[in-house]
């Protein structure tokens, strides 16, 4: 199969639809002004071949995709102890909901809703250098120096009242080790990390290689841990639309409100799609369409 042709076909098919449906995230100005008419896709195989098409080199705000990599670092640092304060069930509630957190006494349903990512950020502050560890990890995985967009980071902090509420809530239940401010600092800045499709496809390849680093022989995670991350992506990785994603795409995915989606086909490849306009659940409209086309045109799926 010629993967490059598949990607070029998807880009050509979606070109007439650019900017037609969905809405760019507008809760902060730096995201609101990103032009909607962009689409990129990149694939890295477990063996190391790379393919890319469209706006695959345009940097974007990775937002909640960062939760995948912070979770990986926390699993590495803490092993199974991580699950004492974080669940593994789809939430069935909006990603920033407070209601469930109160009912469940400060234990977030899963690591991909905001409360869960804040709990993960807390563990990274306890076990290491927080944000610096995430940036160093992403730089090692992608092979490029990865940084953050300071304007986005400042706006996240200036408008993140609900995230502050979630963190304070967990602190009140004695479920955070560190100061709320230190935890929020890591979370707001990890949301502001900037990467492109090629870098993200490369960074996620350990999930298609039983936990092995994309370009080294070292283990990022154990085989069992990598399978568990993929399971969480499939069940909880795409906000409140994880069922719809499993039904229509059938790959473990993690999305972000910057319009990126990372997907994994275990033992075969990782990919990243990006298009900034989002549907009502916060997932990229054309990103989801591209993943559907990729699966249909290659016959690749976990099912
Ligand atoms: N940065 C936003 C927040 O926490 C959105 C992250 C996302 O879901 O991609 O609240």
Residue 64 CB–ligand 1 contact under 6 Å: yes
pLDDT at residue 250 greater than cutoff 80:
yes
Highest mean pLDDT pick, 16-20, 53-57, 78-82:
53-57
Atom of ligand 1 nearest to the CA of 96: 10
Query: HEC states along 62-118?
Result: CHHHHHHHHHHHHHHHHHHHHHHCCCCCCCCCCCCCCHHHHHCCCCCCCCCCHHHHH
Domains along the chain with CATH numbers: 3-298 (3.40.710.10)
pLDDT of res. 117:
97
Q: What is the mean pLDDT of residues 214-239?
A: 96
Residue 257 CB–ligand 1 contact under 6 Å: yes
Assess whether 285 carries a catalytic annotation.
no
Q: What is the mean pLDDT of residues 193-209?
A: 98
Atom of ligand 1 nearest to the CA of 191: 1
pLDDT at residue 231 greater than cutoff 90:
yes
Atom of ligand 1 nearest to the CA of 256: 9
| 83 alpha carbon – ligand 1 mean position (Å) | 22
pLDDT of res. 93:
79
Q: What is the mean pLDDT of residues 23-36?
A: 96
Rg (C-alpha) for the chain, rounded Å, is 18
Residue 154 CB neighbour total at 10 angstroms = 15
| 95 alpha carbon – ligand 1 mean position (Å) | 8
pLDDT digit string, tens, across residues 141-183: 999 999 999 999 999 999 999 999 999 999 999 999 999 999 9
Nearest CA to ligand 1 atom 7: 64
Q: What is the mean pLDDT of residues 45-72?
A: 98
Residue 163 CB–ligand 1 contact under 6 Å: yes
Assess whether 66 carries a catalytic annotation.
no
pLDDT of res. 66:
98
Residue 121 CB neighbour total at 10 angstroms = 29
Alpha helices in the chain (DSSP H): 3-14, 29-32, 66-78, 99-103, 114-127, 131-142, 150-159, 161-172, 180-191, 197-203, 223-236, 242-248, 285-298
């Amino acid at each position: 199969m010629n993967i490059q042709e598949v990607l070029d076909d998807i880009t050509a098919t979606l070109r007439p639809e650019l900017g037609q449906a969905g809405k760019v995230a507008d809760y902060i100005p730096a995201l609101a002004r990103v032009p909607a008419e962009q689409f990129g896709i990149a694939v890295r195989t477990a063996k190391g071949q790379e393919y890319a098409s469209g706006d695959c080199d345009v940097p974007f705000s990775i937002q909640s995709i960062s939760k995948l990599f912070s979770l990986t670092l926390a699993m590495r640092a803490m092993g199974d102890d991580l699950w004492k304060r974080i669940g593994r069930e789809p939430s069935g509630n909006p990603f920033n909901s407070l209601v469930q957190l109160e009912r469940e006494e400060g234990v977030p349903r899963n690591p991909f809703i905001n409360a869960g990512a804040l709990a993960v950020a807390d563990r990274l502050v306890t076990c290491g250098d927080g944000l610096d560890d995430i940036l160093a990890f992403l730089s090692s995985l992608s092979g490029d120096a990865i940084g953050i967009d300071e304007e986005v980071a400042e706006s996240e902090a200036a408008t993140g009242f609900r995230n502050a509420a979630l963190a304070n809530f967990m602190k009140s239940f004695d479920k955070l080790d560190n100061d709320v401010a230190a935890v929020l600092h890591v979370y707001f800045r990890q949301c502001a990390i900037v990467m492109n499709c090629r870098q993200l496809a490369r960074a996620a390849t350990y999930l298609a290689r039983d936990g092995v680093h994309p370009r080294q022989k070292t283990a990022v995670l154990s085989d069992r841990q990598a399978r568990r991350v993929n399971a969480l992506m499939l069940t909880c990785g795409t906000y409140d639309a994880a069922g719809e994603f499993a039904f229509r795409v059938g790959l473990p995915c993690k999305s972000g409100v910057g319009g990126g989606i990372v997907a994994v086909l275990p033992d075969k490849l990782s990919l990243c799609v990006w298009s900034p306009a989002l549907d009502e659940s916060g997932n990229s409209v054309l990103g989801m369409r591209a993943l559907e086309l990729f699966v249909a045109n290659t016959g690749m799926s976990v099912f």
